[in-house]
Amino acid sequence: MNKELLEALNILEKEKEISKETLFEAIENSLLTACKNHFGKADNITVQIDRETCDFLVYATKEIVATPEDVEDDVLQICLDDALKLNKKAEVGLKINVKIQSKEFGRIATQNAKNVILQKIREEERSVIYNQFFEKEKDVMTGIVQRYSGKNISIDLGKADALLTEAEQVKGEVFRPTERIKVYILEVKNTPKGPRITVSRTHPELVKRLFESEVTEIKDGTVEIMSIAREAGSRTKMAVRTNNPNVDAVGACVGMNGARVNAIVEELRGEKIDIVNWDENPGNFIQNALSPAKIVAVFADPDEKTAKVVVPDYQLSLAIGKEGQNARLAARLTGYKIDIKSETQAKDAEGFRYEDYMYDEDGDVYYEEDEYEDGEETAADATEETAAENEEAVSETADEVTEESNE
């Protein structure tokens, strides 16, 4: 029996990852519960289990009294004659340990003891699973689509199920049962019924984690992801940098013939990804962020976190992007509020000076931190004015140019 118990504990420890010590404590508590149900109290009951052999001993510590008539509570007291049968050195007033046979327990007491053990195993199993997934919070895992529950999706992550809510789903993505997908562990909560795991397919960190797993240079710290701006299902902009002059940060992320970035694009169901170089100069960074549009000049104010950008007239729609997406993502990526104007619009703006955005002799663009007076048009206004003329053509051009830059 004891050998079988030891084998059972070893199996539980291996399969459920519950420590054997915890299981021994559960057994001890179950025996105490059985004693309490059988005797009505268990304050003087002690349970000892040998961790090596699984032999256990249950005994009650009783006070020795002179005669049977003096015994007021046979659970707590024992007469001297009975005590001498157990220990010849017994004396009135001393305490003696009286062995209890667990076989004497009734059916109800035995069932309650069994329930205590099972309850403890379930609690420990839930605790182990919670700790495992809590460590993976803010990370990416591969799960299997189980079923749709209304507009939410149940994802099997192995030892636990996760919930992909409607708010965390990419619009237009449809999954089939048994399909394997990568999800971002958004939150892990401990509940009485086990861990409640919420996952996401829209979080920008999903893209970051995918690049970390795909690009060796990011994993080992050679290339660093500085910021990410994402409109899930449509387009992502990511800024990267490296301190190693022999490494091309953007090229490392794109991979040979675009292999690395294409693997991530495939996982994200065709979402376009723009990878640009991060620069500590806000003007340079904003110019990179507005890629693929060509920039004439950038007037950045680091204190106010605002920037005025001047682009050639024919590049205005490309800089703004379809429905303002390119400008919107660039603003999120850089943390600057960006106002984009064409050269014509900038010249007409009050306080504008043409020489402020002239190219220097080397063909580089000047980046001023001065501000010219606001014109009436912002990026959104410019979108309405220019996109109406050639929205479809320019939008297609923007997509083509960006795809080429990713390749």
pTM of the model: 0.68
pLDDT given for residue 374 in this prediction: 37
What is the pLDDT, as a whole number, of residue 356?
54
Residue 323 has pLDDT above 60, yes or no: yes
Q: Beta strands of 255-356 (E only): which ranges?
A: 272-277, 297-301, 306-311, 337-342
Q: Which of the four pLDDT bands, split at 50, 70 and 90, describes residue 353?
A: low
Distance CA(335)–CA(294), nearest Å, equals 20
Q: Which residues contact residue 306 at a Cβ distance below 8 angstroms, ignoring those fewer than 6 apart?
A: 300, 336, 337, 338, 339, 371
Report for 77-86, 179-188, 366-375: range of highest mean pLDDT? 179-188
Is residue 368 scored above 50 in pLDDT? no
Q: 3-class SS at 225?
A: strand
Q: Judge if 203-278 and 280-407 fold alike in CATH terms.
A: yes
Please state, rounded to an integer, the average pLDDT across all residues of the chain: 82
Measured CA to CA, the distance from residue 220 to residue 208 in angstroms comes to 14
According to CATH, the superfamily of the domain at 142-200 is: Nucleic acid-binding proteins (2.40.50.140)
* CATH of 2-123 given 3.40.50.300, 3.30.43.10, 3.30.1480.10, 3.30.70.1140: 3.30.1480.10
Task: Kindly give the pairing relationship between strand 194-200 and strand 180-191.
Answer: antiparallel
pLDDT confidence bin for 104, thresholds 50/70/90:
low
Q: What homologous superfamily does CATH list for 203-278?
A: K homology (KH) domain (3.30.300.20)
Give the pLDDT of residue 65.
87
Query: Per-residue pLDDT for 39 more than 80?
Result: no
Mean pLDDT, residues 340-357 taken together:
72
pLDDT beyond 80 at 369:
no
- The mean pLDDT value for 337-348 works out to 88
Q: What percent of the chain lies above the pLDDT cut of 90?
A: 48
Mean pLDDT of 198-219: 95
> Which amino acid belongs to residue 333?
L
Q: How many helices (H) and strands (E) does the chain have?
A: 13, 16
pLDDT band for 117, please (50, 70, 90 cuts): confident
Residues 6+ apart with CB under 8 A from 289: 237, 239, 276, 329, 330, 333, 334
% residues pLDDT > 70 (the chain): 84
- On the question of pLDDT at 302 being above 80, the answer is yes
Predicted pLDDT of residue 206: 96
Q: What is the pLDDT of residues 73-82, one digit of tens each?
A: 888 888 888 8
| Confidence tier at 351 by pLDDT (50, 70, 90) | low
Rounded to 5°, angle at Cα 357 from 352 and 363: 170
| pLDDT tens track for 306-322 | 999 999 999 999 999 99
Of 3.40.50.2300, 3.40.50.410, 3.50.50.60, 3.30.300.20, the CATH number of 280-407 is: 3.30.300.20
DSSP conformation class of 5: H
Residue 97 reports pLDDT greater than 50: yes
pLDDT (0 to 100) of residue 400: 40
Residue 159 DSSP class: S
Report which of 325, 323, 330, 278 is spatially closest to residue 309, judged by C-alpha positions: 330
Note every long-range contact of 299-306, with CB atoms under 8 Å and residues 24 or more positions apart, other chains counting. 299/356, 299/357, 299/367, 299/368, 299/369, 299/370, 299/371, 299/372, 300/336, 300/367, 300/368, 300/369, 301/369, 301/371, 302/369, 305/335, 305/336, 305/337, 306/336, 306/337, 306/338, 306/339, 306/371
Q: How far apart are CA 202 and CA 230, in angstroms?
A: 8
Domain ranges of the chain: 2-123, 142-200, 203-278, 280-407
What's the order of all strands across the beta sheet hosting 223-231?
A: 223-231, 235-242, 272-277
Residue 366: the pLDDT is 41
Q: Which residues contact 307 (CB under 8 A, 6 or more apart)?
A: 282, 283, 286, 298, 299, 300, 301, 334, 336, 337, 338, 339
Comparing 49-63, 122-136, 163-177, 315-329, the range with the smallest average pLDDT is: 49-63
